[in-house]
Chain A
Amino acid sequence: MHSLCRNCLAFIKNEPRCSKCNSPSILRHTELKSLSIAHLDCDAFYASVEKRDNPDLIDKPIIIGGGNRGVVSTACYIARIKGVKSAMPMFQALRKCPEAIVIRPRMELYANISKSIRQMMFELTPAVEPLSLDEAFLDLTGTEKLHGNPPVVQLSLLVKKISQELGITGSVGLSHNKFLAKIASDLDKPKGFSIIGKKETEEFLSNKPVSLIWGVGNTLKSKLEEDGIRTFSELKIRNKEDLMKRYGQMGLRLWHLSRGQDSRKISANNQVKSISNETTFSEDTSDRLLLDGHIWRLSEKVSDRAKATEKLGSIVSIKLKRKDHSQVTRRLSLRDPTQMCSMIYKSAKTLLDNLDDRGPFRLIGVNLSKITKALPDHYYNDLVDIQGKNNIEVEKATDKIRGRFGKKAILRGRTLR
């Protein structure tokens, strides 16, 4: 059994309190020094940022989310005690916690903080796989020699540094694969540090519900339930071939996961399959001019992200949700992959123009998919579309200005529509 003091980061003997700093916060595990796959999840990220920037909010319940119609994107821990959860419709959240202060998300700010956090992660290892702004997998295998410390120490240092420099707390899950690391980070939130070792993996999982598995949603869950599989132990006794016959590729994955096996690699760039952005209106609308304005702003956001991550996409699609939540999607393939806002917008606009359904709609989204890596030298000149070339030059120039003076330094008139 190894013990690490989370406060002074010293390995100590097996004592209830650290003999050096008297802290009771001790990590104890036999595999403490050998585990190297981690998942780091910031605690109520957006809410923490808002509380950090406005100390008056510290002891109040706050909810980050959009307008009356939107959903909760993050609730602080005080609001969570009242039963507010992420993705809950705002009206429902406010019914549970009427005194909550609702704050509109400031995505640009969160993205900047996220970037700083990611930078700190990259100092530990190049194998960082972000899942969203506030969580990421890290593979620290083989970094002990470099850092002079086992991963557990470096990770503890990382959360300390994030907390000290950015005022954000996070929880770490440390294990031997991605699946378990992700589960572990959720065990002891906030400010947690949980470890699932190889030895106790099967025992740990046995009574857990299979819905813990990413990819087991409501449909698969009920199918599994019909087959008498609710927990990992019920899954584990199943024959591999039978699972594959019944559930296809997912069956094989289930078989491995029931044994705590997950061979997925952590890599910085195998993630993005599509880039999308959507917005829910405060009131249902069928106003095409208004929708057009939204499409432009959404295209801008999608394009910004594609440019930031150096990705191109060759399919543009739009999504519209009707009053009754049923949705329409339309897509088109581009001749050449793009990350340019003008191209994404033009395509999305064509799709909207060709749509017979006049609404009213409650939500609109723009999506760029069939993602490839940016190949800037691959751009063709077009024989007939002289304006298109100019548009790209204008956009590049605009991007430079926005890069230097901020996103609102220069705008298209359309943005204000």
Chain B
Amino acid sequence: MKVSIERSVLLKAMSQAQSVVERRNTIPILANVLIEAEGETVSFRATDLDIEVQDKVKATVERSGVTTVGAHTLHEIVRKLPDGSQVVLADDSTSGRLHISTGRSNFTLATLPREDFPIMASAEYDVNFNAKANILRRLFDKSKFAISTEETRYYLNGVYMHVSNDENSNVLRCVATDGHRLARVDADLPANASSMPGVIIPRKTVGELGKLLNDDDVDIAVSVSDTKVRFATSDIQLTSKVIDGTFPDYSRVIPSGNAKRLEVDAAEFARAVDRVSTVSSERSRAVKLNLDEDRLILSVNAPDNGAAEEEVAVSYGDEQLEIGFNAKYLLEIAGQVDRENAIFMFNSSGDPALITEGEDSSAIYVVMPMRV
């Protein structure tokens, strides 16, 4: 194999590949990227056995061939090469080395046989549909903050993507929860997606997926089966196993009878929460919300450290309420609200609160209160 690739193109492909490759690997081949050169394209494939990413780039292929080489090392080399340079990758099958050269820099890396590289079996997908990148980005970006990191509840370690017909219209829905907060985000159901099985997409996959969704108008081909999911552009293909578990019935978690309504400028609210929580000494920073006629007082009382209070002008017309939340949760949710005011619906100080962006119910958030 001998190919010549523009440095920035190679860097982009290698960035994608190395982020899938785990830093610590007990199986040596999993630290490698599979490089395949054929015709006018070179493909870079990396896997951690749960996720596989394949990136195809245009290149001048002098000699076609296949090899595998350490992904992190190759990425580091390419990153440090001067911008604009033309990088030549050439493998030497007798010495089992890959030569990387550009002008004056020359590197030689050890390779491993391509036969050892595990290719993820391409499953039979039940459903294939197309969705615009910006639609998918919104679904995942607005829900991923609520993904749980608890290993004991592995079935919460991802975003549950499924078709829902809650309000008698079918939507493509993403839900994530860690038991303290929940995010439910809807989008219009793309054509051909109605029979999609519900799948839990792992956190790492959601993170990798973000990189595919940079350009708003690009069509993403989505393929789903019970065990696998694939997102593909014309160049990049991301395949992932889905979490083998049952996502809990979240619908009964979403409060429907909350009647106390608070409307507040989300950004202003977030800044105030951030300010008062500074004095809190604990990891879980509890902020108390004191609600009265068009007035919200945020306060933190940390006996060992100090106290803080801030008044925020809001719209509130229901009876007086005192309720506590983890500051971090409030900040993360407020951060999702970008177009309109945030609307909080409360019941009592012990019941979960419902948060929406204006009257738009296509993205709703639920957060558990804390006793303060």
Whether the pair A384, B253 counts as a contact (CB closer than 8 A) is: yes
Q: How far is the CB of B56 from chain A (nearest CB, A)?
A: 34
CB of A332 closer than 8 Å to a CB of B:
yes
CB of A350 closer than 8 Å to a CB of B:
yes
Q: Out of B150, B248, B371, name the residue touching A334 (CB < 8 Å).
A: B150
Q: How far is the CB of B370 from chain A (nearest CB, A)?
A: 7
A377–B284 CA distance with the chains assembled, in angstroms: 13
A377–B371 CA distance with the chains assembled, in angstroms: 7
Whether the pair A381, B151 counts as a contact (CB closer than 8 A) is: no
With A335-B178, A335-B179 in contact, is A381–B150 under 8 Å at CB? no
With A383-B253, A384-B250 in contact, is A346–B177 under 8 Å at CB? no
Whether the pair A335, B368 counts as a contact (CB closer than 8 A) is: no
Could you mark each residue 155-185 of chain B with 1 if its beta carbon is under 8 Å from any beta carbon of chain A, else 0?
0100000000000000000000111111000
Whether the pair B366, A383 counts as a contact (CB closer than 8 A) is: yes
Whether the pair A383, B182 counts as a contact (CB closer than 8 A) is: yes
Q: How far is the CB of A48 from chain B (nearest CB, A)?
A: 43
Could you mark each residue 125-152 of chain B with 1 if its beta carbon is under 8 Å from any beta carbon of chain A, else 0?
0000000000000000000000011111
A346–B153 CA distance with the chains assembled, in angstroms: 10
- Nearest neighbor of A354 in chain B, beta-carbon distance: B151
Q: Out of B151, B154, B179, B250, name the residue touching A382 (CB < 8 Å).
A: B179
Residues of chain B contacted by A381 (CB below 8 angstroms): 350, 368
CB within 8 Å: A-B pair count: 52
Q: Which residues of A323-363 have CB atoms within 8 Å of chain B's CB atoms?
A: 332-336, 346-347, 350-351, 354
A381–B253 CA distance with the chains assembled, in angstroms: 12
Q: How far is the CB of B281 from chain A (nearest CB, A)?
A: 12
CB of B352 closer than 8 Å to a CB of A:
yes
Q: Out of A333, A335, A378, name the residue touching B371 (CB < 8 Å).
A: A378
Q: Which residues of B176-220 have CB atoms within 8 Å of chain A's CB atoms?
A: 177-182
CB of A405 closer than 8 Å to a CB of B:
no
Could you mark each residue 377-399 of chain A with 1 if its beta carbon is under 8 Å from any beta carbon of chain B, else 0?
11011111100000000000000
Secondary structure class of chain B's binding surface, majority of residues: loop
Q: Which of B150, B248, B253, B350 gathers most chain A CB within 10 Å?
A: B150
Q: Which of A351, A354, A384, A385 gathers most chain B CB within 10 Å?
A: A384
Q: How far is the CB of B248 from chain A (nearest CB, A)?
A: 4
Could you mark each residue 354-368 of chain B with 1 if its beta carbon is under 8 Å from any beta carbon of chain A, else 0?
000000000000101
Q: Which residues of A136-186 have CB atoms within 8 Å of chain B's CB atoms?
A: none
- Nearest neighbor of A348 in chain B, beta-carbon distance: B152
Q: How many residues of A contact B (CB 8 A)?
A: 18
A385–B253 CA distance with the chains assembled, in angstroms: 10
Q: How far is the CB of B209 from chain A (nearest CB, A)?
A: 24
Whether the pair B179, A385 counts as a contact (CB closer than 8 A) is: yes
Residues of chain B contacted by A378 (CB below 8 angstroms): 284, 370-371
A378–B148 CA distance with the chains assembled, in angstroms: 19
Whether the pair A380, B368 counts as a contact (CB closer than 8 A) is: yes
- Nearest neighbor of B253 in chain A, beta-carbon distance: A383
Residues of chain A contacted by B150 (CB below 8 angstroms): 334-335
Residues of chain A contacted by B366 (CB below 8 angstroms): 383
Residues of chain B contacted by A336 (CB below 8 angstroms): 284
Residues of chain B contacted by A354 (CB below 8 angstroms): 151
Whether the pair B152, A384 counts as a contact (CB closer than 8 A) is: no
A336–B286 CA distance with the chains assembled, in angstroms: 14
Whether the pair A384, B248 counts as a contact (CB closer than 8 A) is: yes
Whether the pair A350, B152 counts as a contact (CB closer than 8 A) is: yes
With A335-B179, A378-B371 in contact, is A384–B156 under 8 Å at CB? yes
A347–B371 CA distance with the chains assembled, in angstroms: 25
Q: How far is the CB of A375 from chain B (nearest CB, A)?
A: 9
- Nearest neighbor of A381 in chain B, beta-carbon distance: B368
Whether the pair B151, A350 counts as a contact (CB closer than 8 A) is: yes
Q: Which of B151, B366, B368 gathers most chain A CB within 10 Å?
A: B151
Whether the pair A332, B151 counts as a contact (CB closer than 8 A) is: yes
A383–B152 CA distance with the chains assembled, in angstroms: 16
Residues of chain A contacted by B350 (CB below 8 angstroms): 381
Residues of chain A contacted by B178 (CB below 8 angstroms): 335
Whether the pair A380, B248 counts as a contact (CB closer than 8 A) is: no
Q: How far is the CB of A240 from chain B (nearest CB, A)?
A: 34
A85–B153 CA distance with the chains assembled, in angstroms: 45
With A380-B368, A384-B248 in contact, is A332–B152 under 8 Å at CB? yes
A377–B154 CA distance with the chains assembled, in angstroms: 27
- Nearest neighbor of A388 in chain B, beta-carbon distance: B179
Q: How far is the CB of A60 from chain B (nearest CB, A)?
A: 49
Residues of chain A contacted by B248 (CB below 8 angstroms): 384-385
- Nearest neighbor of A346 in chain B, beta-carbon distance: B152
A385–B252 CA distance with the chains assembled, in angstroms: 12
Residues of chain B contacted by A384 (CB below 8 angstroms): 156, 177, 179, 182, 248, 250, 253
Residues of chain B contacted by A347 (CB below 8 angstroms): 151-152
A333–B283 CA distance with the chains assembled, in angstroms: 14
Residues of chain A contacted by B284 (CB below 8 angstroms): 336, 378
With A380-B180, A385-B179 in contact, is A335–B149 under 8 Å at CB? yes
Residues of chain A contacted by B151 (CB below 8 angstroms): 332, 347, 350-351, 354
Residues of chain B contacted by A383 (CB below 8 angstroms): 177, 179-182, 250, 253, 352, 366, 368
- Nearest neighbor of A334 in chain B, beta-carbon distance: B150
- Nearest neighbor of B367 in chain A, beta-carbon distance: A383
Q: How far is the CB of B179 from chain A (nearest CB, A)?
A: 4
Other contacts beyond A347-B152, A378-B371: 14, CB < 8 A: A332-B151, A335-B148, A336-B284, A347-B151, A350-B151, A350-B152, A351-B151, A377-B371, A380-B180, A382-B179, A382-B368, A383-B177, A383-B368, A385-B248
8 examples of A-B residue contacts, CB within 8 angstroms: A336-B284, A378-B284, A378-B370, A380-B180, A380-B370, A383-B177, A383-B180, A383-B253
